[in-house]
A and B are shown apart, each in its own frame.
Chain A
Amino acid sequence: MEIIEQKHDKYYFFKLNGRLDSNTSLGFEKKLFEAIKDGSTRMVIDFEDLDYISSAGLRVILKATKDLKRSEGTLILCSMQDYVKEVFEISGFDTFLPIVASRTEAISRVSG
């Protein structure tokens, strides 16, 4: 899996490419929590090129959401493929996580 990172003034941006599974989720968790530790509290994760996610990936997202909630931060996910979005829905993650259609929308929400 490829992970692209961008640090902006108002938010931290991740773009995932490939599969977020039991093997790759650990690497992503490390990067995500490094950014949080560095003081970023507003995050966008772009799922446009993510083809697959399992519970190992969901676990990382949940951990980060809990962590950011404590520091009154925000995590917004965008551009999810249908199958991936379904996994979030089956797991009930769509009830507490904002999932928006486009990167532009995510950025405008996180910067607002």
Chain B
Amino acid sequence: MQKRLLVLQDVTGRSPDAEKTGRARFLGEAASLPVYSSYSQYLLGSFKSFVSHRPSRPARLAFSTAAAVCLMLALLLVSSGTVVYAAQGSEPNQILYPVKLFSEDVRLRLAVKPQSQFQLNLTFADRRLDEIDKLAQSGQDAGVQVTDRLQNELNAALDSAASLENEGAVKALENIQANLQQHEDQLLKLQSQANPHAVANYTRVVVMLQQKVNLAEQGVKDPQSIHQLLQQQQKQDKKTAGATPTPTIVVNNAQEATSTPAMAAATEPENNAAQCSDQGKGNNGNGNGNGNAGRCDEPDTQLTPKPAQPAAATSAGKPTNPNKPDNPDKPTKNPPEKGNKGGNGHKK
């Protein structure tokens, strides 16, 4: 093999002319280079030559266009980030509030794990309740939009809590329960300060919170049942939305409505039936002509299926509110038809 390879050894040498030319080019190239004693000096020198180098006109144009686009993108990112950050502290009656809701929607869409979905749902529901608390303190109406969103967030929180692993689901549901009870108590205290026009909406929120607390209680015992109950609720939501006009709670007198018995009445089945009526009847046809009306949360009132379970939960030593009705499930047994039939100006 070595002998065969020797055939490659016999090559012509480099011509003197080519050698001379190559040498001159090599030394010329060396002479054109600035001398640096170290690599850091070389980097510094390279940067200086880059800065001092004046590029061609098209290159300058391309560079300036790219720089402008980058600058605009950076400004856009910074400004939108600032707006979103500023919106986090906004209230429902402020201009940045939709941005806050949008950012919450985006965060929810980006959450993949059930645990993080639950945490976000609970955090956002907590935000809604804080907003409602603040508005109640200042005597303002929270508005249907906020309460509707609260309801959706609570449903989602319950749903995602029940989707967690067994122990995690129980802990999450207990967390929801404690949180909502706290807000419920606070809202009941603030009820007296509320604007008479907003009382019905706050009543609706309190009823909603009671129902969710009951649902969480039930879920602590059997987390999987929450999915079924929520599905039932959604079906009933659809039916109610298609079959009947939006019902309202008729509050005859602001003082009565804000008092504790009135709150209890809002959760009693017969009173709920009496106070929930068709919108037209509720606003126009009640007995004393008081036009204070809010929406009656009928879908939620049909949610809790078993009246015995909240009683069991109460007997299990859970904290109870003296203002809270003995059986918060009672309104849920009241069918919407009953409320629609019964109710013109029925007064507790």
Q: Do A and B bind each other?
A: no
Q: Please list the residues of chain A having a beta carbon within 8 angstroms of any beta carbon in chain B.
A: none
